[in-house]
Amino acid sequence: MNKWKLNEAKNKFNNLIDTAVNGEAQYITNHGEKIAVVVSIEEYKCLKKSCISLKEFISNGPSLEGLDIERSIGISRKTDL
């Protein structure tokens, strides 16, 4: 993993892309803080493929039927109202 200052990344963009295409993620920094990462299209596709929406995650989760969940009847916390 290489870190590139933003100005250096602009000036050496071809080198940055070549390194990313060869399988090594490239971090871009601005004022010492990581602000972006450049990866190959293959790596990006792998990352996108593994992402699912919250709706899909919940839909594919375990069934909650049969769980004995009780809610306390008392006041859960004091308020200053």
Residue 59 lies in a domain: no
Rounded to 10 degrees, the C-alpha dihedral 13/19/21/23 comes to -150
- Residue-by-residue pLDDT tens, the chain, 81 positions: 689 999 999 999 999 999 999 989 999 999 999 999 999 999 998 888 877 888 888 888 888 788 887 877 777 776 666
Residue 36 lies in a domain: yes
Residue 38 lies in a domain: yes
Say how many residues make up the chain.
Answer: 81
Q: What is the domain-level CATH number for residue 6?
A: 3.40.1620.10
- The total of structural domains in the chain comes to 1
pTM surpassing 0.95? no
Tell me, what's the pLDDT at 81?
A: 62
Domain holding 42, by residue range, is 2-52
